[in-house]
Structure 1
Amino acid sequence: MDLRPSFLKGRAPGGKTSLDALQKLWRSVDLPGESLSHIVLTGADPVLPSSFAVGAAAQASMAAAALAAAEIWHLRGGTRQQVSVDMLHAAQECRSYFKINGVTPNPWDPITGLYRCGDGSWVRIHANFAHHRDGALALLGCPPGDGATRAAVERALERWTALDFEQVAADAGLAVSAMRSFDEWDRHPQCQAVAAQPLLTIERIGEADPRPLPKYGHGARPLRDIRVLDLTRIIAGPVCGRALAAYGADVMLVNSPQLPNIDNIIDTSRGKLSVLADLDTADGRIALGNLLRSAHVFVQGYRPGDLAALGFGPQDAARIRPGIVYVSLSAYGNTGPWANRRGFDSLVQTATGFNHAEAQAAGQEAPKPMPMQILDHASGYLMAFGAQAALARQATEGGSWHVRVSLAQTAHWLRSLGRVEGGLGCPMPAMDGFLETEPSGFGELVAVRHAAHFSETPARWTRPSSPPGTHPTVWPFH
């Protein structure tokens, strides 16, 4: 049965639409097909300057997360409600745009970026964290700290091939990627490992009785009283927690006082409680264990195995809290030679061929990034989607569940959505009409309103964005 509504405007390359992508996502996790008749998607690529269907990726992933929230609401006794997502609005939300006290922060360190190596190939260095920056500078024999210059890095990289520097940096635990074409990436064993996996996996990892979700009356949001521990940083994981908070969950962001953050935490902390717990200490592990015992969802973005070494891997969490939904984010997936490799959106774009393909479409030699960190944002919404699909399974079937998402698998999915002819000619749209202003613990925050609209339970953030450590490490009582 074709569930495509008549009001869906536009069509992506190859006859695909965002709804096609959404339908495939929805069915991949066995959610009821009836829900798909309650989605409204408007707009068509291009909405941002890219030869890729970045608008469709933003819209479909966000719609999946929002529609899953509506399905949770239906499980809790609510009527099926209409969910609508506009493509331009979704893409704007995925640009990480915000102002704090009238200033738009620049998250990029001056050393971060793409460089040509001595063999004529390119590498991207991610230097937004000081220890990654100084480690890369040390490998290159450049002065450390803020005194380093791009010119010095360019001269140093003339002595390297791109693949050699990528490997040496990876061996040192640093954040560097060599640029590849799609053909080169397709031949790489990590690409083959990624291609062999579904976009997201939901695996039963333990036995537990079903925990039926309490029913609430009119005005409650779908995830009311669902407790989410958010142990993520940067963008993808925090976007997942922010979405769940918009749909009514009590989301507690758990930061380590020993780890750095980026300014995006101001935007992605909307709706969340924010606490500190140092998991390298007994006190921090005890605090997290206490929180976990009454949590419903545990979201983490550590490298594979790192949290297990601290006693909070998937099996540990299922033992401490039977019935937990455990959500893991990684850069390159949980299998293959790069399973433990560090990665960020920009690095994965470079390694998996997008910077090369976008440059080809633009007719330029220098690598060209996509107009936003779509791998991060789409992965965040896919995490929220998977978490809610697993919550629905837990409520009806029981069990503990593990949801896995990776930036590289999201990249593989984005390629499958096709290319947008003439997409690079699309002007970058203004943010006018998409912003809201609200107080926060950081100052006056101007950021993009959530693009998913619910006919019965409007999404909203009821807690202001707050600095790490603002709240105590205890769940609130309603």
Structure 2
Amino acid sequence: MEEELAAVWRQVSGESLPPGAVAVGGEESVLPGPFRVAAAAAASVGVATLAAGELLRVRGIEPPPVAVDLRHAVASFHSERHLRVDGQVPGELWAPLTGDYLATDGWVRLHCNYPRHVAAVCWGLGTAATREAVTEAVAKRRAREVQEAVIAAGGAAALLRTRQDWLNHPQGEAVAGQPLVELRQTGDALPKRLFESDRPLGGVRVLELTHVIAGPVAGRVLAAHGADVLHIGAAHLPRIDPLWMDTGLGKRSAFTDLTQDAGRARLRKLLARADVFVQSFRPGALARWGFSPEELAYEFPGLITLDLSAYGWHGPWRNRRGFDSLVQLATGIAAHAGLDHPRPLPAQALDHATGWLAAATVMTAVRRAATDGGGWRGQVALAHTAEWLESLGRREITDTGYQVDDLLATLPSAYGELTYVPVPGANPQWTEGTRLPGSDRPSW
């Protein structure tokens, strides 16, 4: 386990990890399946905890020893499943039409958690918005035809393919040549002054424009290590309430409509005083509003940006919508036991791992900006994380399960009392529960 963690730390920070720097406890058998999801969870949590500790060191504080408990790391990868509001499950994570459908020659997954994606399925396939109608429409077509029709209509879909098919695909070839994490300097700026604090990210302002799981998890981890995280959304955009409640811990929430001139002007004012900008729009989407990486680096030379995407920034799918479950089908992960039916990972591991890696990258960039100066840009992608998970190898399928009750904590929130999985690591904490969307002013 230490070898895998050291390899990821080297990719995130460019530094070697001394032997024994991280203590990992527990067994990988807490999760079923052949993929080493528990190892990925421990490594992701471990590098973020290391990054937080190195920031403390910059502040002149000796960090506590880094220890990662596999059970706690896995529980954090299941955080949305363990969330309770006043002791009750807060709602469904999947919309009725989201799921796997059998076409004439194989399986295809349709992501329908948002109204626009439902509309794309209905428009692309010429069908009504019922499970029965979509099942019938898909059954008459080839899987690739379904995938492309839905994507052309602005939706999100992926057909089940083998690992070899993915490696032979142009997008698979493009992803195979990319690093798990990329962090590079974007311009010159004086070293960033860190305000006095005993928290790794105390006084650091993080502007977050993300949705679903990976990006919000990154912001949640940063908030747990002391960052002032302001999530920006829009009143007209839909949300999945249980995911919002789970990933909104410790953050403020404001609305700004980027389709309007006033909204874009407000975002610029926020960016001018932000230290970090975390965003998960599709590659190129923000550029149409004047927020391309190049424009951000020019206008805000000391800004740290962290970009998340589904399939990366190279290849024919670089602008394609994607979600964890779709990337699992596309990359062959869900076909590990054959093509007779998709078999997903035992957690939304690509989302959660990518979120933790994003947080580690941000903290490393803050450290670099404090010691060396400059603006920095980090990039992570679900498909890159999928390749890393594949590289960890397989294991014998065992499943001892795990208990979570002793790990859980509670906080009051705008929704009621939240029972949640605390962020593992070196004394991270949130001081308040999730706020209602848009309940704060869009200001620092």
The reply to whether TM is greater than 0.5 is: yes
1:294 match: 273
Q: Is 1:419 matched with 2:394?
A: yes
Distance in 1, Cα, partners of 2:18 & 2:244: 33
How big is the shift at 1:171?
A: 1.9
2:414 match: 441
From 146, 152, 155, the equivalent of 1:171 is 152
How big is the shift at 1:429?
A: 3.1
Q: Which amino acid aligns with 1:128?
A: N
1:25 match: 8
Distance in 1, Cα, partners of 2:230 & 2:19: 31
Q: Which amino acid aligns with 1:233?
A: H
Q: Give the direction of change, closer, same or farther, for the CA distance of 1:141–1:32 in structure 2 (3 Å limit).
A: closer
Structure 2: 5+ residue stretches without partners: none
How big is the shift at 1:31?
A: 5.0
Matches within 5 A, 1:117-266: 117-119=103-105, 121-144=106-129, 148=130, 150-216=131-197, 220-263=198-241, 264-266=243-245
How big is the shift at 1:169?
A: 1.8
Q: Give the direction of change, closer, same or farther, for the CA distance of 1:432–1:382 in structure 2 (3 Å limit).
A: same
Is residue 76–residue 214 contact of structure 1 (8 Å, CA) maintained in 2?
A: no
Is residue 303–residue 340 contact of structure 1 (8 Å, CA) maintained in 2?
A: yes
Is residue 75–residue 421 contact of structure 2 (8 Å, CA) maintained in 1?
A: yes
Q: Which amino acid aligns with 2:352?
A: H
2:428 match: 459
How big is the shift at 1:30?
A: 4.1
Is residue 29–residue 401 contact of structure 2 (8 Å, CA) maintained in 1?
A: no
2:423 match: 450
Matches within 5 A, 1:39-438: 39-95=22-78, 96-97=80-81, 98-104=83-89, 105-119=91-105, 121-144=106-129, 148=130, 150-216=131-197, 220-263=198-241, 264-357=243-336, 359-360=337-338, 365-423=340-398, 426-438=399-411
Distance in 2, Cα, partners of 1:446 & 1:314: 38
Q: Secondary structure of 2:405's partner?
A: coil
Q: Identify the range of structure 1 (373-382 vs 76-85) with the bigger mean alpha-carbon deviation.
A: 76-85
Distance in 1, Cα, partners of 2:19 & 2:181: 19
Q: Give the direction of change, closer, same or farther, for the CA distance of 1:417–1:214 in structure 2 (3 Å limit).
A: same
How big is the shift at 1:325?
A: 0.8
How big is the shift at 1:108?
A: 0.6
Distance in 2, Cα, partners of 1:68 & 1:439: 29
Q: Identify the range of structure 1 (30-39 vs 231-240) with the bigger mean alpha-carbon deviation.
A: 30-39
TM-score (norm 1): 0.89
- Residue deviations 1:412-466 (CA, integer Å, cap 9, x gap): 000011112123xx154343222112111122211112222x2xxx210013210
Is residue 6–residue 17 contact of structure 2 (8 Å, CA) maintained in 1?
A: no
Q: Which amino acid aligns with 1:375?
A: L
1:3 match: none
Q: Give the direction of change, closer, same or farther, for the CA distance of 1:29–1:345 in structure 2 (3 Å limit).
A: closer
Q: Secondary structure of 1:225's partner?
A: coil
How big is the shift at 1:122?
A: 0.4
Distance in 2, Cα, partners of 1:27 & 1:254: 32
Is residue 44–residue 56 contact of structure 1 (8 Å, CA) maintained in 2?
A: no
Is residue 208–residue 231 contact of structure 2 (8 Å, CA) maintained in 1?
A: yes
- Residue deviations 1:221-246 (CA, integer Å, cap 9, x gap): 11100110010010000000000000
Distance in 2, Cα, partners of 1:32 & 1:131: 43
Distance in 1, Cα, partners of 2:419 & 2:351: 21
Q: Secondary structure of 2:268's partner?
A: helix
- Residue deviations 1:260-314 (CA, integer Å, cap 9, x gap): 1112010100010111111111221122111111111100000011111112222
Distance in 2, Cα, partners of 1:304 & 1:267: 26
Distance in 2, Cα, partners of 1:316 & 1:258: 27
How big is the shift at 1:101?
A: 2.9
Q: Secondary structure of 1:446's partner?
A: strand
Is residue 252–residue 274 contact of structure 1 (8 Å, CA) maintained in 2?
A: yes
How big is the shift at 1:351?
A: 0.7
Q: Secondary structure of 2:273's partner?
A: coil
Q: Which amino acid aligns with 2:231?
A: L
Distance in 2, Cα, partners of 1:214 & 1:152: 58
Q: Secondary structure of 1:41's partner?
A: strand
Distance in 2, Cα, partners of 1:402 & 1:252: 19
- Residue deviations 1:369-411 (CA, integer Å, cap 9, x gap): 1111000000000101111111122112221111000000000
Distance in 2, Cα, partners of 1:341 & 1:36: 41
Q: Secondary structure of 2:38's partner?
A: helix
Q: What is the aligned-residue identity percentage?
A: 42
Q: Which amino acid aligns with 2:407?
A: F
Q: Secondary structure of 1:433's partner?
A: helix
From 415, 425, 437, the equivalent of 1:468 is 437
- Residue deviations 1:2-44 (CA, integer Å, cap 9, x gap): xxxxxxxxxxxxxxx2x21211122224455467644221123
Q: Which amino acid aligns with 1:470?
A: S
